A and B are shown apart, each in its own frame.
Chain A
């Protein structure tokens, strides 16, 4: 295997470089997936039928907690990649571990929120608005859940095998995924929650 040492570890082989480009193309498809969800949300936003509206059910506290947690986790995964690039494997695993813990905390808050919606009668079947709201939030939450398992597998691999070019590449791609989920959340936070509450 040819290693190019002028590049960061995750870019060091041609295959690794292509993996990263391929993942960007996947993220492009993800952007379009979330765009269709946002489209349906904006179309159905006011179709509340006899159910509650956004202003009735949104609460600023859990939303703010989720936003701060996810922004912080996006920062710590960035630090993990930086630590990886300066060959600080131990520090990298710590930052990756913190990221996953924050991800779990985000998910716990979201589960609390969904439970709350269910108990006040905002379910998938209530109205066009609650249906698309829960679908959009749920799709993002499912991505975070997948990311938690994915990140945990990478963490185990780093601890068992150390930082090989392949694992560095996987870690970098995972960081792209995690940052992307943060970007999607920013749009959910701004155009679903804040727009619904103002």
Chain B
């Protein structure tokens, strides 16, 4: 039975639950908007990293360079799309 629950996976699960609890603090505790948003950004991206590396075995195979390249490429397009649009349509800018 024990060999079916490797420490790596169990710890990853506990860690992801812990990150969820930390993220939840923005709802239950009183804090400023920028502090709360920072907490959410940090916990969400760590959480994504845990899933990617630990559970999706991203760094285990020979083609890990290709896997990381395609992921980071997609991620940078994603971030440019989100923040570029926010800059152009919500935050605004001045010349």
Answer yes or no: do A and B interact.
yes
Which of A38-46, A114-122, A138-146 faces chain B? A38-46
Contact residues on B (Cβ < 8 Å of other chain), bracket: 35 or more
Find chain B residues with CB under 8 A from A21 CB. Answer: 63, 66-67
A 28-54 to B, binary, CB cutoff 8 A, 1 in contact else 0: 110110111011001100000000000
- Which chain B residue shows the least CB distance to A24? B67
Partner of A28, one of B24, B26, B61, B70: B70
Known contacts A79-B9, A194-B27: A35-B44 contact under CB 8 Å: no
Query: Which residues of A (22-81) have their CB < 8 Å from a CB of B?
Result: 24-25, 27-29, 31-32, 34-36, 38-39, 42-43, 60, 64, 67-68, 71-72, 74-75, 77-79, 81
Judged by a CB distance under 8 angstroms, whether B94 is at the interface is no
Query: Which residues of B (50-95) have their CB < 8 Å from a CB of A?
Result: 51-52, 54-57, 61-63, 66-67, 70-71, 73-75, 77-79, 81-82, 85-86, 89-90
Q: Interface majority SS on B: helix, strand, loop or mixed?
A: helix
Whether B4 pairs with A43 at a CB distance below 8 angstroms is no
Bound together, the chains give a CA A72 to CA B14 distance in angstroms of 10
Known contacts A71-B20, A186-B47: A176-B56 contact under CB 8 Å: yes
Bound together, the chains give a CA A64 to CA B20 distance in angstroms of 9
Other A-B contacts than A39-B81, A179-B55, 19 sampled, CB-CB below 8 A, are A7-B61, A20-B63, A24-B67, A25-B70, A31-B75, A31-B78, A32-B74, A35-B79, A64-B24, A68-B20, A71-B20, A72-B13, A78-B12, A180-B56, A182-B51, A191-B44, A194-B24, A198-B26, A198-B27
**Chain A residues close to B by CB (< 8 Å):** 7, 11, 17, 20-21, 24-25, 27-29, 31-32, 34-36, 38-39, 42-43, 60, 64, 67-68, 71-72, 74-75, 77-79, 81-83, 86, 88, 91, 175-176, 179-180, 182-183, 186-187, 189-191, 194-195, 197-198
**Chain B residues close to A by CB (< 8 Å):** 3-6, 9, 12-13, 16-17, 20, 23-24, 26-27, 33, 36-37, 40-41, 43-44, 47-48, 51-52, 54-57, 61-63, 66-67, 70-71, 73-75, 77-79, 81-82, 85-86, 89-90
